[in-house]
Amino acid sequence: MVDGGSVALTGLSLDAFTAKLASADPTPGGGSVAAAVGAFGAGLVRMVALLTSNSPKYAAVSAECEVIAERAKLLVAKLLRLVDEDASSFDRVSAAYRLPKTSEDEKRARSDGIQRALEGAIDPPMGVISCAREICDLAVELVDIANPNALSDVGCAALCAQTSSQGAALNVEINSSMLKDREAAKRHTDELNAGLAHVSLLAEVVLGKVRSRVAQ
């Protein structure tokens, strides 16, 4: 269950999630999708790490792959939580905009509520970007030691992380643009840009290594 007792998005089947995504309801939206795509990327990292660690042929890197697999498992869980947290944060922003605004006191309370909700709506996508950085860190470790038959999956994981971070960035940018506290908005933007640069660089490193190993 999530806020209000509704069923968690991550409790839905893939068909049901996609149908809800394609409906006129505003949630789930791009933020939840960004988190889900990130979870897919972390899942791919875990899969390749386990495939490699479970093979006697790669016994020399088995322990390292097991560590990668465990770290990826934690990322999957965190990103799935962020799928729901992003939708809940959007609902809180929407609720704040619906607050009464007849009197001056109500207008002030509504404005303060909107600002708090916008700040809260920045947290989930920033969490997604942080996870995307970690996915790429793991993929860089994995790509050099992974079972070559699963190299394309490592590359796909990096692409998922990159797409996830870029999708989350759009949510951070739109919410930050509406913050009255411009110093806070700048802090979010600076952190965002650093995260995107990290993900983009490592994703390209992973994809280059995948293509290089495949071509051998």
Q: How confident is the model at residue 214 (pLDDT cuts 50, 70, 90)?
A: confident
Domains along the chain with CATH numbers = 28-215 (1.20.120.680)
The predicted model scores a pTM of 0.93
Query: What confidence tens digit (pLDDT) does each residue in 57-97 have?
Result: 999 999 999 999 999 999 999 999 999 999 999 999 999 99
How far, in Å, CA of 19 to CA of 81, rounded? 20
- By the 10 Å C-beta count (0-12 exposed, 13-18 middle, 19+ buried), 25 is classed as exposed
- Residue 132 to residues 97, 179, 199: CA-CA distances in angstroms? 31, 25, 7
pLDDT of residue 5: 44
